[in-house]
Amino acid sequence: MTWPTRLFVLAVGCGADATCRVDGIISCRLLDLLDPPVPPSAAPREGVATRDVVVDPAIPLRARLFYPCRPTGGEAGGGGGEAGATKPLPVVVFFHGGGFAFLSAASRAYDAACRRIARYAGAAVLSVDYRRSPEHRYPTPYDDGLAALRFLDDPNNHPLAADDGDVPPLDVARRFVAGDSAGANIAHHVARRYALAAHTFANLRLAGLIAIQPFFGGEERTPAELRLVGAPIVSVPRTDWLWRAFLPPGADRTHEAAHAASPAGAAGIDSPAFPPATVVIGGYDPLQDWQRRYCETLRGKGKAVRVLDYPTPSTPSTSSRSSTSRSTSCSGLRTSSPPAAAAAAASTDLSASRCTRTSSCGWG
């Protein structure tokens, strides 16, 4: 890692630790100071405009919408011009990381990451500002994620149709769920909940699942957890604290929310409505063994899985390994390689090939 990256990782870890109390409470005042929100911007920045959308006023549940603006030609690496003409935009429903407890759709790191995904993939990105633990434990973020899908299923809720006639409509046949870290955990559980209830959706169909270093776990300590117990940002003690703050009182990490390879955690995967998946695994991530088990579970259920396996600490960072099983989940997004969402995260200064979970700067 470069020295700026090392210092940033150290600052993130120390800042996160400072907000956590031993009684399972988070200092919201300090957290707000460390993570000031980025306001939405109707004026395009880097070819992408944003607006905040109310998904469910009763909760209230909000989301931030990112969409490439026309004209969008000439973006480096972006191919955004094609999406900016007349074609409907594919939609990525995105869930930010932060161990279920930290950060938001308006956090600077995730505002930048979603903006990059929208620009490079030529897609609309709906970043869900789900409710966070410890105030809102399992299954609240999953409920919020499914509510976001139902919001998009209703044409009357089309968030781009309000006052921007120059923006293409949304393509209901190309909807993706994606997330980073804890957000990838949410994306998985939202996808399987959708699969179990697909018959209740009139229009929405999921074309793919993109899980960037998903936050899974279990009671046993895997070789990667033992080897990387003190890893920056996502250390084993921190992940244990986050699970205690999120899981139901008295539950352990064999719970379906954590153990995605368990029968309960995998329920719905074998449904035809559960989409093909792309999974990004980071070699500095202590949870990587759980992520590989997750991939094997998907394959065992007959699902197409593409794995982007980045170097381990002993592997040169200039050479990443991409192993593909059967097919990619991102066929509906404009991508080169790696897939659009993973490429957007990996192209940041804090890429998954350089350090743990800094692809979008989340903590868990």
Active site (catalytic) residues: 181, 285
Instruction: Count Cα atoms within 13 angstroms, Cβ side, for 223.
Output: 4
Per-residue tokens: 32 = 């707000």
Residue among 296, 297, 324, 294 at smallest CA distance from 309: 324
Distances (CA, A) of 296 to 50, 311, 325: 37, 19, 10
How far apart CA 308 and CA 305 sit, in angstroms, is 10
What is the Cα Rg of the chain in Å? 19
Q: Which residue in 290, 279, 162, 175 sits closest to 222, CA to CA? A: 290
Residues pairing with 63 in the sheet? 53, 128
Residue-wise DSSP of 84-121: HSSSPEEEEEEE--STTTS--TTSHHHHHHHHHHHHHH
